[in-house]
Homo-oligomer: A and B are copies of this chain.
Amino acid sequence: MILLLVFACVTAPTASAGETVAAWNPTGVEWQRFRALAQADREHIYARLVELCDGAGHRLAGSPGQKRAEAIGAAWLKADGLKVTLDPVKVPVWVRGEASLAVTGPRAEPLRVLALGGSVATPDAGIEAPIVVIRDFTELSAAVNGKIVLYNHPMLPGTPSIDHYGDAVAYRGGGASKAAAFGAVAVLVRSVTTRSLHTLHTGALGYDEAQPKIPAAAITVEDAERLSRLAGAGEVRVKLRLTPHTEPDADAVNVIGELRGTGRPEEIVVIGGHLDSWDVGQGAADDGAGIVESVEALRLVAKAGAPKRTIRVVLFANEENGLRGGKAYFAAHGSERHVAAVESDIGGGAPQGFGTTASEAQQAWLTPMLAGSGLFTRPDGGGADISPLTHDGVLAIGLLPDDSHYFDVHHTDADTVDKIDPAALADSTGALAALLWQLANAPDAPVKAGVRGD
């Protein structure tokens, strides 16, 4: 509260010619100010996350939960005094159906299993075959022909965890088609996590259209290790049955709230996360936290005074299985003058830094804003939903929170609101607000970079 009293006296900055970016944030004052404001509103911020998680439930694209979430998000933005727009987005509809997996030999026993998002179904009677355990793609060979491949590739521990995600998730994302190329009839994938309590992690796979589409499902780390031990002692047969199906695309919306700029309204700063989630758990960390942080950051900025540039919060309709939200936003708004796009999609932990994709001029514009924040920036950042903007040359900034427990719950039924610490959620909200404030008020923003390679 002491901080609040002090910083309430700081006059909201307004644009003036010739001013430097650094002058917008002397000694990090904006970071302290907005992070204190966010902590003061901690209960409100957390209550919105609870409302989204409990009120909507999971929010898989095309599900009733997604529609409930759209209504909740739109109501927030309206209550916060923003101009609300619902941009139509066609989203994929993948329905999980049933799943079962059992070892049938040497000794019959059921196993936990969870289909990967987008997987095709097995025949209704299931697929029974011996397993071949693979730790690395390089081990794939003709030996998997007619077999079920088990990818037992571990996610390595380390900080930040996100740096170790890509290596492991390659097996979930691309493993089915790579195994199909060698004649495998299905794949099982070790859940992508460093900590497991017999926990199943789903997530999207992508099929290579040149290969047969074979069913794919996650098993737990524990079972992956155990089946590996078992297979080391002789043939292990399993029977997998999955009944997912895909329906025609459904109608959804990008929920957009806009605070129109007072000085340069045609210049736009976007912030957002994705409203959809997987169909397990509540999507609290992925990406309820990013949604709430984005909404609340803009609310705090609006409360602090009208910014020079326009700020839009976008609750992207669909990221998990199609990126339709980000693509639709870009199709509708890509030609507008975006000076920066910010995303939060690595959980609700306390802020540690920002990953940026920036030209030299963009980074030079951004860097002074972070002075005194205690947060780092590093290259190659952004976010999936803003990736079409990033590709088009817009300055992209992705929040890097403490993600040391994010992947424990990522894409699992354990991704529930109780895992989110209200203080950490508020702190990231405050950091995003401080960033937004400066992006929206700083002097002349550089032009966007050229179109970037993927």
Q: Are A418 and B222 in contact (CB under 8 A)?
A: yes
Binds B, one of A157-165, A328-336, A409-417: A409-417
Quick one: closest B residue to A415, CB to CB? Answer: B198
Q: Are B413 and A112 in contact (CB under 8 A)?
A: yes
| Stoichiometry (number of copies) | 2
A54 vs chain B, min Cβ distance (A): 6
Decide if A452 is an interface residue (CB 8 Å cutoff).
no
Q: Which of chain A's residues 385-419 have a Cβ closer than 8 Å to chain B?
A: 408-409, 412-414, 416-418
A192 vs chain B, min Cβ distance (A): 14
Q: Are A418 and B225 in contact (CB under 8 A)?
A: yes
Decide if A66 is an interface residue (CB 8 Å cutoff).
no
For A413, list chain B residues within 8 Å (CB).
112, 198
Complex alpha-carbon distance, A112 and B417, angstroms: 17
Complex alpha-carbon distance, A107 and B229, angstroms: 43
Decide if A199 is an interface residue (CB 8 Å cutoff).
yes
Q: Which of A107, A109, A225: most chain B CB closer than 10 A?
A: A107
* B107, B197, B222: the one within 8 Å of A199 (CB): B197
Decide if A340 is an interface residue (CB 8 Å cutoff).
no
Interface size class of A (residues with CB under 8 A): 20 to 34
Complex alpha-carbon distance, A412 and B199, angstroms: 11
Tell me whether A109 and B197 are in contact in the complex, defined as CB-CB below 8 angstroms, given that A221-B418, A418-B225 are known contacts: no
* B54, B57, B199, B221: the one within 8 Å of A229 (CB): B54
For A416, list chain B residues within 8 Å (CB).
198, 222, 226
For A198, list chain B residues within 8 Å (CB).
199, 281, 412-414, 416
A101 vs chain B, min Cβ distance (A): 14
A410-430 CB mask vs B (1 if < 8 Å, else 0) is: 001110111000000000000
* B54, B195, B418: the one within 8 Å of A230 (CB): B54
Q: Are B57 and A414 in contact (CB under 8 A)?
A: no
Complex alpha-carbon distance, A198 and B225, angstroms: 21
Q: Which of A50, A197, A226, A408: most chain B CB closer than 10 A?
A: A197
A13-56 CB mask vs B (1 if < 8 Å, else 0) is: 00000000000000000000000000000000000001000100
For A222, list chain B residues within 8 Å (CB).
414, 416, 418
Name 14 interchain pairs, CB-CB below 8 A, sorted by A: A54-B226, A54-B229, A54-B230, A195-B197, A197-B199, A197-B408, A197-B412, A197-B414, A198-B281, A198-B412, A198-B413, A198-B416, A199-B414, A225-B418
Query: Footprint of B on A, CB under 8 Å?
Result: 50, 54, 57, 107, 109, 112, 195-199, 221-222, 225-226, 229-230, 281, 408-409, 412-414, 416-418
